[in-house]
Amino acid sequence: MCSYCGCRDVVLIGQLTAEHEAVVNAGGLLQRAVAAGETHRAVRLLEELESLLHPHTALEERGLFAELRQDEVFTEHVDRLCGEHRDLDERLAVCRGGDWSGLEALLFALREHIEKEENGLFPAALTSLDGDQWERLHEDPAVTGTPQHAHPHDQDHQHAHGHDHPHDHDSARPQAQV
């Protein structure tokens, strides 16, 4: 995975990269469980892999990919990557149906897909998107998951305590970086 261009320093790309690493690690655990014949564990690990992958691909598609797709230079490439997301989903569904014979090919396709993003699309985004575009990505509630009316600190507090008290701030809590 790319570690030389500095694109991981961009919050969104850093997040996507960390998610890629988690997905690859989950795939490795799944592959070992299947190889060992641990079917119940494999089913649980497949669910874990899907729970990591589906929100990740949705974030890519509604965020970075949507922004890049506006430039015709990237449209075809982004569309291909989105098609690969669908292909991965179809392969996962076969495994979910109990047929593990395509797992190795699935994990290979997943790693190849990540390679295209990490060593192609992410560095290209770094050099192609301007400051306004990155700002839109980092402020878009569809990308960040933050409601437009909420301050990021308020949402952190709400998640940590199960309620929202806008005047109840913990000044020692670090502010989220966008």
At 3-37, the pLDDT tens digits run: 555 555 566 888 899 999 999 999 999 999 999 99
The answer to whether residues 50 and 65 belong to one domain is yes
pTM: 0.75
The answer to whether residues 74 and 108 belong to one domain is yes
pLDDT recorded at residue 140 = 75
Residues 6+ apart with CB under 8 A from 133: 67
Q: Could you tell me the residue range of the domain that residue 173 belongs to?
A: 150-178
User: Mean pLDDT over residues 67-78, rounded?
Assistant: 94
The answer to whether residues 98 and 175 belong to one domain is no
User: Mean pLDDT over residues 53-81, rounded?
Assistant: 95
**Given a cut of 50, is residue 68 above it in pLDDT?**
yes
Domain count, the chain: 2
Q: How many CB atoms lie within 10 A of CB 58?
A: 12
User: Mean pLDDT over residues 95-99, rounded?
Assistant: 96
Q: How many CB atoms lie within 10 A of CB 3?
A: 9
Q: Tokens 């005047």 map to which residue?
A: 167
pLDDT recorded at residue 94 = 98
The answer to whether residues 83 and 104 belong to one domain is yes
Tell me if 176 is assigned to some domain.
yes
pLDDT recorded at residue 127 = 87
Alpha-carbon distance of 62 to 66, in angstroms, equals: 5
Tell me if 58 is assigned to some domain.
yes
pLDDT recorded at residue 12 = 84
The answer to whether residues 172 and 118 belong to one domain is no
Alpha-carbon distance of 119 to 32, in angstroms, equals: 27
pLDDT recorded at residue 44 = 98
The answer to whether residues 83 and 157 belong to one domain is no
The answer to whether residues 23 and 99 belong to one domain is yes
Q: For the segment 113-158, what is each residue's pLDDT rounded down to a tens digit?
A: 999 999 899 989 988 998 888 888 888 766 666 544 333 333 333 3
The DSSP string of 1-29 is: ---SSSGGGSHHHHHHHHHHHHHHHHHHH
The answer to whether residues 15 and 93 belong to one domain is yes
pLDDT recorded at residue 4 = 53
The answer to whether residues 27 and 110 belong to one domain is yes
